Structure 1
């Protein structure tokens, strides 16, 4: 699946729109596209991607439209791409292609999201009031959530029953010792104090990530940024940090702050797409 289709599928899921995916899962002999070719169809019949064009494409699109009616979760279809056999598609390729057609329900996309890594990971450093309010919101908009704190009474399964992971650190000075981030990682820093935020931030700026956001007033953040400069961090490093975190919506309560952070993360993810 191409990155373009991945982002397109993720946008549809965020909008709550069902769709159908057709994928070439196996081929034999000469075929227009090999294993890994994809076609995504929206409910209005518009498509992204291709399984090979010609009669194969036309038959696959017909099957996709039928699946919108039946909502059948998945079915494998075998196509003979030759001109000799009675049940073949009258194509000159001569090979065979197996195409799996799947209905994706936007309300329950878990298997699809997991299989194709559509989820982005949110590392929430700080399991207090804001972290607790933020985690379910991010999970609802297809972030894999990891709640992290240095206090077991805050970072536990009772408070975060549906998070992908809950981690308790000995302290925030070694926040990333057991964490491997990547370009799809979103780092949220909402610990209970300035120095906890600073300890996480120092290490966060050494990691790969799509987003680094830190809670706090402009005055507090300016102080921490000055500390970073004294430690040799560049202006480009500091410019990576979204601080104060979240979109400016005059949020005050933990729940409102959570909404503002989630909105900013959606914006960053959409701009990257």
Structure 2
């Protein structure tokens, strides 16, 4: 979850130096992937995880020393379980974790710059040089020598736009935030679309759906959940979403089979093709017998995960 991580990093840096530990290579079976990260702040507190257990404890101890010395370090974590070696687990693989101390105004500015890109739905490449005298920086094009640096394309989290700020939307925002989506809400009823109901939301739109989507035009991974209070609102939202220049990764619509058929029929009469409507997930969510708003939120979140993971497999 990159946005919470860099938000915490920027905050922690105001209190002192922070060590960022990043998994830069793996082999065999390991608990985390390349790019997994955690931080150890000036008070020795850790945020995030690179897999837990003895391996993570080893990294934290090394990071506490590095907070003082500032000397970059590559930590080897052996999870082979071999009896003749000092191993940190029995998963079967090995991990290399790079420890880098971030400190000062330049580091704060870099963390804030990364945040600005990610919150705007833009990917950005972070380069971490392995040389002691060089600091991390952003690269417009991935070109550094991989032998002398770790270059990582940081993707923004997918954005879930909840259209319709009712009871199901309130519960869905909680679950979607928990599974790593950047949550946004659109509903022209300010008594529903507000911070009290949606403290997780990065943005709340009380304008029309068309106006809201113009502000999200650059978001490349937009998921939309139509949880509106009526048929006419579904039509308005679907029309705007299907006309979007960058196609939505996911569009789901709540409602009965009868309502779904009526919406699709009306959309086809308005000129939208069956192919355009075929990607609509309706009724929304995986079929798990959900009844309450909380259960419906879980079923929708499960479908979001299913779509998100299948998109990663395509990549």
The answer as to 2:299 corresponding to 1:267 is: no
1:77 maps to which residue?
Answer: 72
1:122-141 mapped onto 2 (5 Å cutoff): 122-141=160-179
Cα deviation per residue 1:127-185 (whole Å; 9 max; x = unaligned)? 1101001001000000000011110111111111221111112x446552333254411
Count of residues in correspondence between the two structures: 200
- Picking from 147, 166, 188, the partner of 2:185 is 147
Residues 186 and 209 in structure 2, CA contact (< 8 A), matched pair in contact too: no
Pairwise CA distance, 1:42? 8.9
CA distance in 2, matches of 1:253, 1:226: 28
Residues 182 and 209 in structure 1, CA contact (< 8 A), matched pair in contact too: no
CA distance in 2, matches of 1:189, 1:267: 18
Pairwise CA distance, 1:68? 5.0
CA distance in 2, matches of 1:46, 1:198: 42
1:201 maps to which residue?
Answer: 238
- TM superposition score normalised by structure 2: 0.55
CA distance in 1, matches of 2:200, 2:32: 35
1:168 maps to which residue?
Answer: 206
Q: SS at the partner of 1:119?
A: coil
Q: SS at the partner of 2:214?
A: coil
CA distance in 1, matches of 2:258, 2:198: 31
Runs (5+) with no aligned partner, structure 1: 1-5, 7-18, 23-37, 50-64, 80-98, 104-109
1:1-273 mapped onto 2 (5 Å cutoff): 21-22=22-23, 38-39=24-25, 44=30, 48=34, 69-71=58-60, 72=63, 77=72, 100-101=98-99, 116-169=154-207, 171-172=208-209, 174-180=211-217, 182-207=219-244, 208-273=247-312
Q: SS at the partner of 1:188?
A: strand
Residues 190 and 206 in structure 2, CA contact (< 8 A), matched pair in contact too: yes
CA distance in 2, matches of 1:215, 1:45: 36
Q: SS at the partner of 1:209?
A: coil
Aligned-pair Cα RMSD in Å = 3.5
CA distance in 2, matches of 1:196, 1:153: 17
Cα deviation per residue 1:87-146 (whole Å; 9 max; x = unaligned)? xxxxxxxxxxxx95369xxxxxx9999572351110011111010010010000000000
- TM superposition score normalised by structure 1: 0.63
CA distance in 1, matches of 2:26, 2:240: 39
